[in-house]
Amino acid sequence: MEALTIHEAAETTGWTPRMLRYIERIGLIEPARTEAGYRQYGPGELQRLRTLRELLADHEIGLGDVAFALRLRRDEALSGAVDSWLEAEPQRPEAVSADEWLRWEQEKHARIIAALTTNETMETAA
Amino acid sequence: MEALTIHEAAETTGWTPRMLRYIERIGLIEPARTEAGYRQYGPGELQRLRTLRELLADHEIGLGDVAFALRLRRDEALSGAVDSWLEAEPQRPEAVSADEWLRWEQEKHARIIAALTTNETMETAA
DNA sequence: TCAACCTTATCAAAGCTGTGTCAAGGTTGA
DNA sequence: TCAACCTTGACACAGCTTTGATAAGGTTGA
């Protein structure tokens, strides 16, 4: 037995079954199904459910925010348009310089490549 | 005379004064102020207010979504955490391959550099 | 077989978002 | 001076989001 039912998954992750269905509906975690349609939560899903709670709590964001970030990642027309709009932002005194920001972007790029190639469980930067 | 008052800016951009204050409060467009505290909307702000309306309408997103995207850009701890969580997403059948996605990321990087160097009014990809 | 699960769908309530309106008071310019 | 702006703050309301509870019915395993 590898996969847990929705109630078992709720138990071990601290969510309610209701919320697991909601998290699925907004596209964040979509578990496999049995032939009869029962949801099956595997180790990967359980881990992601736990880290999702941390993510929300640590940064005071909501499920809708994470869903929007996912949408940004999947819809390149959207992310391009939002990026364009934000990039046109006038320089504010306390904002980072273009240089600093570009360096940050490059480091982020390196992180993404690393994540793609190693592809293990993510480091939960608690 | 270069800068418009809040009512004039509302008039020419299609927003209401109330909404311009709201847009400022959530951090999207923060106009300069006169000595007495009156908001002053310059050509840049007016253009951004107009393209903001297009952005929302074209992609069915809300002001809160744009505000979150801005927060993602400004708070690197947040964007790193969200990225990490999303990158751990299990491969879905219809998702793009890692190769395709990496290519997209590289092109995005190039677009960002282009935007930083040219730094003119953004092209509104209508 | 049948208790204890699971499914989807619906009603409901609390809270947040987006927006209007109004009040009390300061600024500006003819 | 004073009408016509501006400011912040508060009250209010419709609609959406988030979450729970409940109902009607299918699945499963001892």
Cross-strand pairs, A33: A39
Q: Checking phi first, is residue A85 left (phi over 0); if not, alpha (psi -120 to 50) or beta?
A: alpha
Average pLDDT, chain A: 78
Å between A15 CA and D28 C1'?
24
Inter-chain contacts counted by CB atoms under 8 A, chains A and B? 127
Residues contacting nucleic strand C by the 7 Å CB criterion are A 5-8, 17, 21, 37-39; B 16, 18-19, 22, 26, 34-38, 62-64
The model's confidence at residue B2, banded by pLDDT at 50, 70 and 90, is confident
Q: Could you report the per-residue pLDDT of B56-102, keeping only the tens digit for each?
A: 999 999 999 999 999 999 999 999 999 999 998 764 433 344 434 43
A73 vs B contacts (CB less than 8 Å): 86
Q: Does pLDDT of A18 surpass 90?
A: yes
Contact yes or no for A112 and B82 at CB 8 A: no
CA–CA distances in Å: residue B62 to residues A30, A33, B23, B57: 25, 33, 11, 9
Q: Does pLDDT of A9 surpass 80?
A: yes
Please name the residue of chain A whose CA is at the shortest distance from the CA of residue B90: A44
**Which domains can be identified in chain B, with CATH numbers?**
6-118 (1.10.1660.10)
Please name the residue of chain A whose CA is at the shortest distance from the CA of residue B66: A82
Query: Which nucleotides in chain C have some atom under 7 angstroms from a protein Cβ?
Result: 5-8, 17-21, 26-28
Using CA of residue B8, residue B13, residue B17, residue B21, what is the dihedral sign? negative
Q: Does pLDDT of B120 surpass 60?
A: no
Average pLDDT over residues B40-67: 96
Q: Could you report the per-residue pLDDT of A52-65, keeping only the tens digit for each?
A: 999 999 999 999 99
Mutate to test the interface with A, among B84, B94, B96, B119 (most CBs of A within 10 A): B84
Average pLDDT over residues A87-99: 51
Q: What dihedral do alpha carbons B72, A104, A94, B53 form, nearest 10°?
A: -40
What percentage of chain A has pLDDT greater than the value 70? 70
Residue partners of A28: CB distance under 8 A and separation at least 6 = A52, A63, A66, A67, A70
Task: Supply A95's token pair.
Answer: 């904002």
pTM assigned to the model: 0.76
Average pLDDT over residues A35-55: 96
Spatial CA neighbour of B111 closest among B95, B97, B122: B122
* Cα within 13 Å of Cα(B97), Cβ side: 3
Contact B15, B49 (CB under 8 A): yes
Å between A5 CA and D23 C1'?
21
Taking C1' of C16 and every protein CA, the nearest residue is B64
pLDDT of residue A90: 62
Q: Does pLDDT of A106 surpass 90?
A: no
Å between A5 CA and D30 C1'?
18
Q: Does pLDDT of A1 surpass 80?
A: no
Residue partners of B6: CB distance under 8 A and separation at least 6 = B17, B20, B21, B38, B39, B41
The model's confidence at residue A47, banded by pLDDT at 50, 70 and 90, is very high
pLDDT of residue A85: 96
